[in-house]
Amino acid sequence: MPAAFPQPTPRRQLALRWAARLLACAAALAGAANASAAGNAACTNAQRIVFTQPVTVTAQERAQIAQLSPLRVLAVSAPPLSQYEEETGRYRGVAIDVLCAITQELGLDWRLDGAPTQTVTEKIAKVQNGQADLFLPLSATLERERLGHFTLALYTSYYVAIARKGRSIEIDRAADLARYRVGLVRGVALQPILEPLVPAAQLLLAQQSFAGGGLFDALRAGDIDVAVFSRDFFVEQRYNHELFDLEIVHTFKEYPRHYGFYLGPDAAHLQLATLLDRYLGAIDTSASLRAHQMGERQLIERYLHQRQQRLLLLISSAGAAVLALAAFIALRHYRQLTQRLEAGHRRIRQQQQALQAANHQLQQLSQTDALTGLANRRMLDQSLAREHARWRRTGSALSVALIDIDHFKQVNDRLGHTTGDAYLRAVAGVLARSLTRVTDLAARYGGEEFLCLLPDSDAHAARTVAERIMDGIAALQLPNPRAGADAGALTVSIGLVTLQSGSHGTADLLQQADVQLYAAKHAGRNRIQATTLRA
C-alpha cells in the first residue's frame, strides 16, 4: 500500500484557515478597486476630443454632480463608436473618448461593465429599470424614448443595401427593395419602415449579424439578395470577418441613424442628459474618429502576425539538410506578403476615398437643427423650392403648416431655458411622429416656430396632419404656467395654407401661412386656421 500523507497539526490547520481568509479579503478588495477604476482606466484618449467653444456649468450644477454616485455605464460593440477588446477586457472607441472628455470636465466618476455577456436588449432594460445609468452608443426609437432619455447625437450613420459582388442589383430608393429577397437584423430602427414595403415572404429577420448563421451568412449563401445594415459598422467589421465578396450597392440617406447616449427615465437622468447635451453641442470628434476607424489596419496586422508565426514554425522544424528548401519557402512567402501589402495599400486608398465620402456626409449634417434634430432653415428653403417647382410641373396640391408654441416665453421666463429646450425637443418629436410619409418634412423655422412641408397634400389631408399634431402636443401634458393664470398644458397654434392653383411663389405661401398663424393666435390660440390659394 502507498504511504499515507502526514496529517497537519492543529496549529498548522489554524494557520491555513487564516491564510485562506486573508487571501479572500485581498481578492475582494482587488475586485472592488478594479470595478471602481474601470471607468478611469478606459480614459486614455480623452485628448482626442476637442471642445470648439466654452461650456457653461453653474456652481449649483457642479455641486449636484459632485453628490452623484459613480455612473454605471454599459456598452455594446459598435465600431468605430465602441469596440470590446478581448485581450484587455475593455471597450475603446469614439463614444468612450467623448464620455471620458465630458466626465473629466465635470469631475464625474463612472465605471464600465467590461464583460459583454448580455444582449443589447438586456442592457437597455437595465437602464430603463434603474440597474444602470447610461448605455452607449444607441440610436433613438419611439419605444426607447418613452422609457428613457437620449442625448444629442454624437455620430450619424446611414443604412445601406449590401449585395454579393457581380449581382445585378438596382436600388434607387427604399421602395425598390420590394423586387428582392431582403434581410435585416430583427429589432433595428428601420424594421417598421421596411415591413410595409417588402412582402413578408421576401423579408428575413435575422437574430444576429456577423455571427455564424446570421444575416451575412444568409447573404453569402444566397438565401437573400440584399442585406440592409448600418454602413459604418459594416465597413469596419467586414475586415474582421473578411467579407470582401460583398459590396454596398445603395445608401438610404433618407433614413439617417443618429447615435447618442441613453440614460434612465427619472428626472435626475433627464437633468444629466441636458447637461451632456451642452458638451455634445460643442465637441469635435474628428481626431477620435480617425483613430478608431482601423478595421483595415487590424486586418494587415493580423495577416502579418499569422505569417510571422508560420515562418517561425517552418524555420524551427527545418533541418540543415533542407536549408535551401526553407530559403525558397521563405522567399515565396515574402513575395506573397509583398503582394498582400500592395493589395493592402490599394484598400487603404479606398478607405481614404470612403473617409472623404464620410466628410461629405458630415457636411450634410449642417442641414440639421442641433437642438431638435429636425431639418434647419437651410434645408427647409431648399426643399420648399424643390417641391414648389414640382407643383408647377404637376399641379398636385402643396400644403404648409406653420406651428407656434403658445405662451412659450412664459416657459422660458418661469421654468428656465433648460426646460424650454426640453419642450422644443418634445414638440419636435411629436412633429416627426405625426408626418408618416417619407416625402413630408418637419423643420425648425426659428425660435419656438416649426414648419411642416406637405407635398401632394390637399386641404383635407393637411388638416388631418395638423389635427394629429395638436393631439400629440396635448398628449404630452407639458405644464405651461402662464403669468397671471392657473397652470395649464402646453398648446400650439397652427397656420395652414394649401397651394391649389395660380402663380403664387414660395414667398406668398410662407406669408399666407404666417397670416393664418396670426389669425389663430388672435382668435384665442390652441387652434388651426387654414386657407387655400387659388388663381
Give CA separation, 65 vs 276, 363, 408, 489, 501, in Å: 12, 35, 29, 31, 58
Residue linked to cell 422660458: 412
Whether 436 and 477 map to the same domain: the answer is yes
Q: Residues 533, 500: contact at Cβ < 8 Å?
A: yes
- Give the domain-ending residue among 366, 388, 412: 366
Whether 474 and 330 map to the same domain: the answer is no
Residue linked to cell 421602395: 175
Q: What is the pLDDT of residue 359?
A: 66
Q: What is the pLDDT of residue 237?
A: 79
What type of residue sits at position 91? Y
231 lies in a domain? Answer: yes
From 105, 242, 448, 449, the catalytic residue: 448
Share of the chain above pLDDT 90, in %: 57
The total number of structural domains that make up the chain: 4
User: Which of residues 36 and 8 earns the better pLDDT score?
Assistant: 8
- pTM of the complete model: 0.47
Whether 194 and 128 map to the same domain: the answer is no
Whether 524 and 508 map to the same domain: the answer is yes
11 lies in a domain? Answer: no
Confidence of residue 241 (pLDDT cuts 50, 70, 90): confident
Which is it for strands 110-112 and 203-206: parallel, antiparallel or unpaired?
unpaired
Q: What is the pLDDT of residue 307?
A: 59
Whether the pLDDT of residue 382 is over 90: the answer is yes
Whether the ω angle into residue 256 lies within 30 degrees of 0, i.e. cis, is no
Of the candidates 497, 498, 535, 500, the residue with the CA atom closest to the CA atom of residue 516: 497
Whether 390 and 434 map to the same domain: the answer is yes
250 lies in a domain? Answer: yes
Whether 500 and 386 map to the same domain: the answer is yes
Q: What is the pLDDT of residue 117?
A: 75
What type of residue sits at position 94? V
Q: Residue 531: in which H helix or E strand, if any?
A: strand 528-533
Q: Name beta bridge partners: 182.
A: 203, 226
Domain that holds residue 93: 46-142+264-288
Q: Assign residue 355 a region (left: φ > 0; alpha: ψ between -120 and 50; beta: otherwise).
A: alpha
Mean pLDDT of 488-517: 95
**Phi, psi of 534, rounded to the nearest 5 degrees:** -130, 175
Whether 315 and 447 map to the same domain: the answer is no
Give CA separation, 467 vs 93, 418, 520, 530, in Å: 44, 28, 14, 12
Q: How far apart are CA 117 and CA 104, in angstroms?
A: 28
Annotation marks residue 448 as catalytic: yes
Mean pLDDT of 260-264: 96
314 lies in a domain? Answer: yes
Count of CB atoms within 10 A of residue 307's CB?
A: 15
Whether the pLDDT of residue 26 is over 60: the answer is no
* CATH classification at residue 419: 3.30.70.270
Taking the mean position of all CA atoms in its chain, how far away is CA 526?
A: 35
Whether 307 and 330 map to the same domain: the answer is yes
Among 23-37, 216-230, 316-330, which stretch is predicted with the lowest mean pLDDT?
A: 23-37
Confidence of residue 453 (pLDDT cuts 50, 70, 90): very high
Whether 402 and 446 map to the same domain: the answer is yes
Count of CB atoms within 10 A of residue 526's CB?
A: 18
Confidence of residue 336 (pLDDT cuts 50, 70, 90): confident
Count of CB atoms within 10 A of residue 93's CB?
A: 26
238 lies in a domain? Answer: yes
Whether 239 and 100 map to the same domain: the answer is no
Confidence of residue 345 (pLDDT cuts 50, 70, 90): confident
Of the candidates 411, 429, 428, the residue with the CA atom closest to the CA atom of residue 419: 411
* CATH classification at residue 269: 3.40.190.10
Of the candidates 190, 192, 209, 198, the residue with the CA atom closest to the CA atom of residue 252: 190
The model's pLDDT over 86-128, given as tens digits with 9 standing for 90+, comes to 788 888 899 999 999 999 999 999 998 756 778 888 899 999 9
Q: How far apart are CA 171 and CA 179, in angstroms?
A: 9
32 lies in a domain? Answer: no
Q: Spell 328-358 as b/e; 16+ CB within 10 A means b.
A: ebeeeeeeeeeeeeeebeebeeebeebeeeb
**Phi, psi of 40, rounded to the nearest 5 degrees:** -65, -35
Whether the pLDDT of residue 321 is over 70: the answer is no
Q: Residues 301, 189: contact at Cβ < 8 Å?
A: no
304 lies in a domain? Answer: yes
Q: Residues 198, 182: contact at Cβ < 8 Å?
A: yes
Whether 213 and 199 map to the same domain: the answer is yes
Confidence of residue 39 (pLDDT cuts 50, 70, 90): low
Q: Grid coordinates in use for 486? A: 392657473
User: Which of residues 212 and 131 earns the better pLDDT score?
Assistant: 131
Whether the pLDDT of residue 360 is over 70: the answer is no
Q: What is the pLDDT of residue 358?
A: 66
Q: What is the pLDDT of residue 76?
A: 87
449 lies in a domain? Answer: yes
Among 34-38, 118-122, 169-173, 206-210, which stretch is predicted with the lowest mean pLDDT?
A: 34-38
Whether 121 and 181 map to the same domain: the answer is no
